[in-house]
Structure 1
Amino acid sequence: MQALYKFLLLQVLASLGQQALGSEIIKGKNANKKSMMYMASVQNKMGHACGGFLISEDYVMTAAHCDDWKPESVVLGTHDLKKVNDATMRYSIQKCKHPSYKKLGSGSDIMLLKLSRKALVGKKPIQPVQLPSGEINPKTYKKCKVAGWGLTKTGGTAVPKLQVANVPVIDQKTCQKLWKNKLPANVTCAGGYGTKTGFCQGDSGGPLVCGKDVAVAVASFNNNKTCTYPNIPNIYTDVSKFLPWINRILRKKKC
């Protein structure tokens, strides 16, 4: 059964590498076991499909285009996808996709996943990450990082342990120029340019975490599925631009 799981996981990630503009971690390292305990693995019948992150006891945030992979559950509380206790770590979900989202690259690439039961907020090992309190300029942060599971190079192999890498934020004018003014509104650019670090296939929906663990953006897409950096900046959805929508769902506890 374990061999079958490994085979199926590799098949899924290979498929992601050919079909999705994606997001796994390039030139990263294993995350500290006691850090980033808000990270979530968004999964379908085949296993890991996208990244995500816990923002409250009821909700995980991810990218709207992750719905293309038909996710059914999220896994919380582990950095190692080989060590998942379904009874305590797996949560079925209700999907709340942003109403303005149409397709990858069109903007509003953000989705909330309501958990079937409350996560153990305040009890180790699960902890929610902080969101911005208002609109921010990520460039004001000196240190940002991105994390996720999956491929570690273009066409590479999957890794079951959470990877994390530091990434620089790219100013908007430079990013727009490099992308030839084809970027949607409300995005943040970080990694992939001027550095060998960034994301790749397999972890869209993971957070861009800046400062003292503030999730400022959601991994959305890179340049033409190519993860050999330096290249062109990776694109994230700016969380601060969607705070009214997010807070309304968290308050009402429904989409």
Structure 2
Amino acid sequence: MHGLHSFLLFYVLACLGQQALGSEIINGNKAPENTLLYMASLQVNGRHNCGGFLVSKDFVMTAAHCDGNSVVLGAHNLRGNQKIVRGIARKYRYPGYDSVGNGKDIMLLKLSKEVQLGNRMQLAKLPRSAVNVKDNQKCRVAGWGYTRTGNGAPNDLRMVDVSIINQQVCRRRWGRLPANIICAGGYGTNKGFCQGDSGGPLECNGIVVGIVSFNRNAICDYPDFPNGYTDISKYLPWINQILRSKD
């Protein structure tokens, strides 16, 4: 019975590549204007689809399962006038990515033109080596996703505090996990992310350590399963290679 349970959970996880698109923050608050200045909205024909974050003047990081043809930066309110829109010159999905259920859910987007950093736009701070997040450590996640299952997405950026969940607890609950995953929120609490937050940042102590990847079956208003994030530190050689390339 346990084997069947694990298989079914993995099947649900593997299907999240489509269901997780367009994820929102559950039981969070509106982000203050002077915070999270690295946030990006990955959009399809002018509509928010996924989150992301600025990692250089011409690159945004997001989840590999996300889709879009433009990026909005420099705005907490997506309908506001103070925003920068960039096209996407090239998408770099991590080699070997095929589904959320198999991990490697990370992508870099080359912007059509560099952005100017300043009071409304800053770079996310990435880890420089392997991350050692601690159980129950307080972090935060942000995005423009649903505020509850099936609800409409907000225009204002929202954020919420989440706690890191022990890997053994996370694996036991899911039955099977992709490689290189950080678990935080969504289990034993009513806080976490939802559809439309995919690709957004998990920030711990000022460092963006994870990328919003999956929840269970696109359901957000329950505490039964941990939320999953791609562990950025496991992909640093590839990230640095892409950011330094002249292509």
Q: 2:105 maps to which residue?
A: 109
Instruction: Tell whether the 8 Å contact from 2:50 to 2:199 is kept in structure 1 after alignment.
Output: yes
Q: CA 1:140 to 1:191, structure 2 compared with 1: closer, same or farther past 3 Å? A: closer
The CA deviation at 1:136 is: 1.1
Out of 64, 68, 72, the residue aligned to residue 69 of structure 2 is 72
In 2, distance between residues paired with 1:149 and 1:165?
A: 12
Match of 1:245 among 238, 242, 247: 238
Whichever residue aligns with residue 191 of structure 2, its letter is T
Once the two structures are superposed, residues 144-166 of structure 1 have per-residue CA deviations (whole angstroms, 9 ceiling, x without a partner) of 00000031001112210001000
- Give the Å deviation of 1:228: 1.3
State the partner residue of 1:41: 41
8 Å CA contact retained: 2:71, 2:87: yes
2:85 and 2:44 map into 1 onto residues whose CA distance is: 12
**Equivalents in 1 of 2:80, 2:158: separation in Å?**
15
Q: Which residue of 1 aligns with 2:87?
A: 92
Name the residue aligned to 1:21.
20
1:165 match: 160
Q: Which residue of 2 aligns with 1:9?
A: none
Q: Which amino acid aligns with 1:83?
A: G
Unaligned runs of 5+ in 2: 1-15
CA–CA distance in structure 2, aligned partners of residues 78 and 204 of structure 1: 18
**What is the CA distance between 1:84 and its match in structure 2?**
4.3
What is the count of residue pairs matched by the alignment? 229
1:231 aligns with 2:224: yes
CA distance in 1, matches of 2:81, 2:185: 30
- Name the counterpart of 2:147: 152
CA distance in 1, matches of 2:202, 2:124: 11
Q: Give the secondary structure class of the aligned counterpart of 1:25.
A: coil
TM-score (norm 1): 0.86
Query: Helix, strand or coil: the match of 2:237?
Result: helix
* Alpha-carbon distance, 1:98 to partner: 0.7
CA contact (8 A) 2:20 2:196 kept: no
Give the alignment's TM-score, normalised by structure 2. 0.89
Deviation at 1:46, TM superposition (A): 4.7
Runs of 4+ in structure 1 deviating by more than 6 angstroms, as ranges, are: none
2:215 corresponds in structure 1 to 222
Aligned-residue offset at 1:141: 8.1
Please give the alpha-carbon distance, in whole angstroms, between the structure 2 residues aligned to 1:230 and 1:150: 18
What letter matches 1:99 in structure 2? P
The superposition leaves residues 53-106 of structure 1 with CA deviations (integer Å, 9 ceiling, x where unpaired) of: 001111100000003xxx111000000011145xx6001112111112001221
Give the equivalent residue in structure 2 for 1:118. 114
CA distance in 1, matches of 2:126, 2:20: 25
Whole-Å Cα distance in 1 between the matches of residues 134 and 24 of structure 2?
Answer: 22
Instruction: Give, as a single letter, the amino acid of the residue that structure 2 aligns with 1:101.
Output: Y
What SS is found at the alignment partner of 1:158?
coil
- Alignment RMSD, CA only? 1.6
Pair 209,91 (structure 1): closer, same or farther in 2 beyond 3 Å = same
1:162 & 1:200 partners in 2: Cα distance?
A: 13
Report percent identity of matched pairs. 52
Find the aligned partners of 2:213 and 2:96 in 1 and give their Cα distance: 15
Q: Secondary structure at the match of 1:54?
A: strand
